[in-house]
Structure 1
Amino acid sequence: MRAMVYRGPYKVRVEERDVPRIEHPNDAIVRVTTAAICGSDLHLYHGMMPDTRVGTTFGHEFVGVVHEVGSSVQHLKPGDRVMVPFNVYCGSCWYCARGLYSNCHNVNPNATAVGGIYGYSHTCGGYDGGQAEFVRVPFADVGPSIIPDWMDEEDAVLLTDALATGYFGAQLGDIVEGDTVVVLGAGPVGLFAAKSAWLMGAGRVIVIDHLEYRLEKAREFAHAETFNFAEHDDIVVEMKRTTDHLGADVVIDAVGAEADGNFTQHVTSAKLKLQGGSPIALNWAIDSVRKGGTVSVMGAYGPMFSAVKFGDALNKGLTLRMNQCPVKRQWPRLFEHIRNGYLKPSDLVTHRIPLEHIAEGYHIFSAKLDGCIKPLIVPGTS
């Protein structure tokens, strides 16, 4: 099969690899029909995440057709069209029993923190991802779901992470009717979080970014007010000014480890790996929210020290809520929102890239070229 293979920071290519095989009776092999590049894949691409090993296949957003199943798999059969959440999880440990699928204790040797994630470094279990023609799916009776007949495949692939995570980010904000919600970052997760905030009763939604084409999408898709932080001396002061000098009720960090910061912050995080990422977005969230407010963190950070203003959060009495999204827990309500026409995830898709051109796809997405918001990868057939 053909698969995207990581060869070092900013270096990815397509190689011929063996089709994955059944390694456990609960495995399935899925032939990928559509995958995606996620903003958090760029953290890997840029060399930001620890233990990202040469030879790894990325990709935690994918859908496909079941090709083969292990002898113990009961709920899937060859030929089923399935969507696979980015979480690899067992379904039976203490955490899974409580719906914390992203914290599964049985799928990752580093499970003191995150559980397993497809294609997201050995820090997250070392599972190869779906930017390939085939992928091995462990615990096949637990994670994947059959795609409903009425659901478009491009909507389904965005449910495997981006939409579910954005919705979860709004959910963690504990939005009360009429709340002012600020979303930092107008990438796909931020745009979905902004759109979801309205579904939860927000009275005002503001999106902050520095790329005009993404802010235009925030106005069009999420019906949000927008601020370009590059046009303001201090975006925190501007947020205070526009909220009667109180601050927002809820701020959602949908940026994470690669927030634009100053030179020193980029050197200590990206170059020297002294931080788990630039703390700029998270510190803006802490500073922009009102006293007693809630900060929801959806942006991905490395498992390392970051210079976060924790004392300010303490003294303001903030609630900080965060986690990797337990994707499948969000699906029932999101299925209904899509069926009822409240959400059309594929509206954010801007590029459809053949697998053999994935290196160019990563470059376009990373460099923010050609108005790229969400690129899909189409493997084709061998």
Structure 2
Amino acid sequence: MRAVTWQGRHKVSVETVPDPEIVNPRDAILRVTSTAICGSDLHLYDRYIPGMRAGDVLGHEFMGEVVDTGAASTLEIGQRVVVPFTISCGQCFFCERQLYSACDNANPSETRDASDVMMGHAMGAAFGYAHLTGGYAGGQAEYVRIPYSDVGPVVIPEDLADDDVLFLSDILPTGWQAALNADIEPGDTVAIWGCGPVGLFTIQSALLLGAARVIAIDHFPTRLALARKYGAEVLDYREVDVREALDEMTGGIGPDACIDCVGMESHGFTLDNVVDQVKAKFYLATERPHALRQAILACRKGGRLSIPGVYGGFADKFPLGQLMEKGLTVKSGQTHVQRYTGELLRMIREGKFDTVSLISHHASLEDAADMYRRWHDEQNLYTKIVLKPGMARGTVRAVQQMEQV
């Protein structure tokens, strides 16, 4: 089969790799019909996440048709399913508490030792995301093996198109959990750093949970326009001092809740971020947490901080004193996708989420290398890319005529 493989920093290629096979009775094999490039894939592309090996198959946002099942799978051949990016057994201490991304069984013993040392406890498992999370082949491929297929996949009704539901795999539940972790109360003002796909779903989620105002912070005009379309007020951090603007907009109090949807590769030319970029370039630091620092300083006293943005190691110049003295409540973590998919599928069917307008392009799986480069370098034009196995090479279709701020 053909699959997108990681070959090194800023290098991916589409290669012929062995077809997946059933290796456990709970497995299923999926023929992939849609698979997306995620913003967190860029951390792999930039080589900031350790544990990648040349030839690893990428991709953790995908869906498709079941073509084979193990004896203990609950899926049936021919069903359309969306697969959560988290691989979870459903039976361990953490899965029983619906903490699916912390599953203690899915990360194989041969890969868990390194993450145990690095993180304090072994990480949960995920598709296509480094050997720290199990080394599982990802879904940017024609076919993919689904471990624990009786726990994760969501069966999709035939009347819903792939684009309607694909993001149940990751970014929609991630935005939903990000908003839930902010403990939003009716009337709250919520500030969100980052208007990438996760940030855009977080905006929609915060408003659905009762926020009176959502203030979105970014610098790409197209993303800011989408944020405004979804109901947010917007700040372009190139044009304003974000902390001053948030103080002015909240009467000097600060937002009730702040959500960091940026993660470890903040943009910008503030002094702290420039120093972070230099250190990261020479592997003297693993994070560029400017957005997180700014969120901590901007949040009101006694406020809430939610961190769905991906971080991979140790942060320099972290404002721990400010976080403590302001009495902030912090919630973070990888998304417990399986906890939310049923509810979110219902909300999609009720029209409560716009799951389509953030998609900018459909492209062939064979064009993945070029799409990774464009996603990395042209984020104002490429807001979300969906790869389609079987589409002819060289076929790139713009899905939306993107509005500018």
Letter of the structure 1 residue corresponding to residue 165 of structure 2: A
Corresponding position of 2:157: 148
Contact 1:63 1:84 in 2 (8 A): yes
Q: What pairs up with 1:17-166 in 2 under 5 angstroms?
A: 17-73=17-73, 75-108=74-107, 109=112, 110=115, 112-166=121-175
2:237 to 229, 243, 249: 229
Greater displacement, 191-200 / 333-342: 333-342
Contact 1:364 1:370 in 2 (8 A): no
Instruction: Please give the alpha-carbon distance, in whole angstroms, between the structure 2 residues aligned to 1:369 and 1:300.
Output: 18
What is the Cα deviation at residue 381 of structure 1? 7.7
Say which SS state the counterpart of residue 295 (structure 2) adopts: helix
Q: Does 1:198 align with 2:198?
A: no
Say which SS state the counterpart of residue 130 (structure 1) adopts: coil
Percent identity, please.
43
Say which SS state the counterpart of residue 5 (structure 1) adopts: strand
Contact 1:133 1:381 in 2 (8 A): no
Corresponding position of 2:398: none
Say which SS state the counterpart of residue 348 (structure 1) adopts: coil
What is the Cα deviation at residue 156 of structure 1? 1.6
Q: Does 1:309 align with 2:319?
A: yes
Corresponding position of 2:274: 263
Unaligned runs of 5+ in 2: 393-405
Tell me the TM-score normalised to structure 2 length: 0.91
Q: Does 1:245 align with 2:237?
A: no
Say which SS state the counterpart of residue 343 (structure 2) adopts: helix
What is the Cα deviation at residue 291 of structure 1? 0.4
1:282 to 273, 292, 309: 292
Greater displacement, 201-210 / 257-266: 257-266
Contact 2:126 2:133 in 1 (8 A): yes
1:210 to 210, 219, 225: 219
2:338 to 323, 328, 331: 328
Unaligned runs of 5+ in 1: none
Instruction: Please give the alpha-carbon distance, in whole angstroms, between the structure 2 residues aligned to 1:142 and 1:381.
Output: 30
Corresponding position of 1:371: 381
Say which SS state the counterpart of residue 18 (structure 1) adopts: coil
Cα separation, partners in 2 of 1:107 and 1:204, compared to 1, 3 Å: same
Cα separation, partners in 2 of 1:369 and 1:173, compared to 1, 3 Å: closer
Instruction: Please give the alpha-carbon distance, in whole angstroms, between the structure 1 residues aligned to 2:363 and 2:158.
Output: 25
Q: Does 1:254 align with 2:261?
A: yes
Say which SS state the counterpart of residue 39 (structure 1) adopts: coil
Instruction: Please give the alpha-carbon distance, in whole angstroms, between the structure 2 residues aligned to 1:299 and 1:369.
Output: 17
What is the Cα deviation at residue 113 of structure 1? 4.8
2:367 to 357, 369, 377: 357
Instruction: Please give the alpha-carbon distance, in whole angstroms, between the structure 2 residues aligned to 1:334 and 1:228.
Output: 30
Aligned residues: 378
Say which SS state the counterpart of residue 291 (structure 1) adopts: coil
Cα separation, partners in 2 of 1:13 and 1:330, compared to 1, 3 Å: same
Instruction: Please give the alpha-carbon distance, in whole angstroms, between the structure 1 residues aligned to 2:122 and 2:188.
Output: 31
Instruction: Please give the alpha-carbon distance, in whole angstroms, between the structure 1 residues aligned to 2:16 and 2:103.
Output: 32
Greater displacement, 141-150 / 349-358: 141-150
What is the Cα deviation at residue 336 of structure 1? 2.1
Contact 2:363 2:391 in 1 (8 A): no
Corresponding position of 1:183: 192
Contact 1:158 1:346 in 2 (8 A): no
Cα separation, partners in 2 of 1:212 and 1:113, compared to 1, 3 Å: farther
Letter of the structure 2 residue corresponding to residue 229 of structure 1: Y
Say which SS state the counterpart of residue 312 (structure 1) adopts: helix
Q: Does 1:299 align with 2:298?
A: no
Cα separation, partners in 2 of 1:375 and 1:95, compared to 1, 3 Å: same
What is the Cα deviation at residue 277 of structure 1? 1.4
Deviations 1:80-104 (A, max 9, x none): 1111000001100000000000000
Instruction: Please give the alpha-carbon distance, in whole angstroms, between the structure 1 residues aligned to 2:188 and 2:379.
Output: 34
Instruction: Please give the alpha-carbon distance, in whole angstroms, between the structure 1 residues aligned to 2:122 and 2:286.
Output: 14
Cα-Cα RMSD: 1.5
What is the Cα deviation at residue 304 of structure 1? 3.4
Corresponding position of 1:339: 349
Instruction: Please give the alpha-carbon distance, in whole angstroms, between the structure 1 residues aligned to 2:327 and 2:365.
Output: 48
Contact 2:287 2:313 in 1 (8 A): no
Greater displacement, 317-326 / 153-162: 153-162
Instruction: Please give the alpha-carbon distance, in whole angstroms, between the structure 2 residues aligned to 1:345 and 1:306.
Output: 36
